Amino acid sequence: MSVFDKLVQWFSIILEPMQEFGSHAQNMNSIHSNAMQQFHNNINPLQENTILNGDLAKAINNSANDFIALDLQLSLAADELDKLASISADFQTAINRIMTAIDSAAAKIEGDSILTEITTDVDAAAVIEGGANPIADVAGIILTIIDGALVIDTLKDLGENVYETVKDLKQDLTDLAYAIDPPTPPEPKPIAKTPSWQNNPVSQQDLQTLQQTYGNLAHTPEQQQELDNALKGLLQKGLTPQQINSIMTKLQATGCSDEQILTFLGGLVREDPLYPNSPSASQIIGFINSTSGRKKYTLQKYVQQYSEFAQIPGANRLLERLIVSIQPGTNVEKDAGSKGYNYEWNWVLGHKDQIARIEDAAPNASGTKNEQAADIVMKSGPFTQGAVVDVKNFSWSKFDTKTDTYRPLTSSELRDNLKDTLKQVKRDITVYNSGGHKYPIVYCFDSHGGKDAVPQTVVDALYKQGVTYVMSSPPDKVYQPSPDVLKQMQEQQAQQQPAINNTSATKESIENIVGTLRKIATGGGETPQLPGPGPIALP
């Protein structure tokens, strides 16, 4: 057998699955295309059913800058229709490149003893037995080949050629994996605090009286437990039976369903490790009282709407923020705190079906206390991409008593505002994008009913800082960077690319690539779940 044939035989364990991938991909592509087509068919009803007041649906119909088409990049999703076919082509290219490399290496190698030596490292038959997961299989096989090839100095060039090929493939495989199922950003782990109110004693007589009075709200054993917990919690937080009666009377007067009222009560006695003692008894009473006599910010609105998104992790944090920000006498429209949380509340309500988490918190750099992280983390998937969303209700104007009108912020005020926001962007990048995958970072500003546009200086600065999309809503609108900034961003991307290529031959980056492939192959575990010899230490 010639050296060339020997090498081809040896590399058949990588070449054959690569060729097989084409047929796998054809089937997968067909299924994927059908799914994507169905997805497209479902888009309009999806939008209309999930966006508050149909604002987004209206925007989609009327504007070329709508949220779906631009912000969530359906165009990109549409490209994924051909992604598998493209991967198949990439594999064919890889095969061709490897064959060329083998040809070149064969010419340089005079004997075949060394090949015999390395083939003992690879159990080709076992490898070929795989096949349930073509993507993972190929990645695992490539890993084996790289490890094997690099052990042998004489095949270093060949190994590097394979490595280059694998690097391109790895990018495509990763893109494919994220395109099919983009992950949700991992949840940061805030420092947990112990609630003190849960240790407060409760008068059993008071509790029983309340349970009897409001027992009709519960229709199942689970609901009975919810009700008991809520009533007990309110007593433990320091509310008197009379105050609880007053709250219950107001809640029942909202006309909301028993289930909605129970859900809301559960939110009041939250057991969140972040700020477990909030809201306090006086804040709860203050909030309930503050809604009396209001036309827009009514108790009915909050009870009803909270029940719509209460199941999202972190929803009770948003309720807590809202409760402590709206107190008697608050002019919500003029109070920065309550205005901001109402805006976030409405945004969550409008996008609730696409949201994975609300009000993330993470320890600060020194680990001494918690800091607010993303307001909202979107679900995984091609539509929402696990985006990290921060909502802002900034006013781009301020009140001027001399003219009795609002006038634009000065340029220095705008800059100060920007500096504050850019600090948050940096934190978002640190918390969510320090790992391999870059989640989209979205900053969404209150348009105040479509009246306020985000100043272009703000838009440009945010894009330059690393924000993926700058938006305003309602209606949802995506802002584009100015041409100069766009050019700068493209140049930066172009500069980053060669830097990666220049270092690609180093062992460190080979190890990184192999590590990534290992993760793809193993689903993140240390040990590959694939047939074959397993990982071999790099030289």
Q: Which residues bind another protein (CB under 8 A)?
A: 193, 275, 277-280, 282-283, 286, 293-297, 320-321, 324-325, 327-337, 340-341, 344, 364, 369-372, 375, 390-393, 395, 397-402, 409-410, 412, 415-416, 419-421, 423-424
Nearer to another protein, 32 or 321 (CB): 321
Nearer to another protein, 295 or 451 (CB): 295
Nearer to another protein, 190 or 532 (CB): 190
Q: How far is the CB of 194 from another protein (least distance, A)?
A: 11
Q: How far is the CB of 424 from another protein (least distance, A)?
A: 5
CA 535 to CA 532: how far, in whole Å? Answer: 9
Q: How far is the CB of 302 from another protein (least distance, A)?
A: 14
Contact criterion met (CB below 8 Å) for 454 and 402: no
Nearer to another protein, 181 or 333 (CB): 333
Report the length, in residues, of the chain: 539
Nearer to another protein, 246 or 395 (CB): 395
Cis ω for the linkage preceding 276 (within 30 of 0):
no
Residue 433: DSSP 8-state: S
Residue 247: DSSP 8-state: H
- Token pair in block for residue 82: 């051909």
Q: How far is the CB of 243 from another protein (least distance, A)?
A: 16
Nearer to another protein, 122 or 376 (CB): 376
Q: How far is the CB of 283 from another protein (least distance, A)?
A: 7
Residue 423 CB coordination number (10 Å): 11
Q: At residue 337, what is the residue type?
A: G
3-state secondary structure of 235: helix
Name which of 522, 524, 514, 527 is nearest 146 in CA terms. Answer: 514
Q: How far is the CB of 336 from another protein (least distance, A)?
A: 6
Nearer to another protein, 25 or 268 (CB): 268
Q: How far is the CB of 393 from another protein (least distance, A)?
A: 8
Residues in a beta bridge with 365: none
Contact criterion met (CB below 8 Å) for 327 and 321: no
Q: How far is the CB of 327 from another protein (least distance, A)?
A: 5
Q: How far is the CB of 437 from another protein (least distance, A)?
A: 24
Residue 274: DSSP 8-state: S
Residues in a beta bridge with 479: 470
Give the count of alpha carbons within 13 A of 117, CB side only: 10
Nearer to another protein, 37 or 277 (CB): 277
Contact criterion met (CB below 8 Å) for 423 and 371: no
Q: How far is the CB of 344 from another protein (least distance, A)?
A: 6
3-state secondary structure of 388: strand
What are the distances in angstroms from CA 476 to CA 59, 69, 389? Answer: 7, 11, 13
What are the distances in angstroms from CA 415 to CA 389, 393, 394, 443? Answer: 22, 16, 13, 17
Residue 503: DSSP 8-state: T
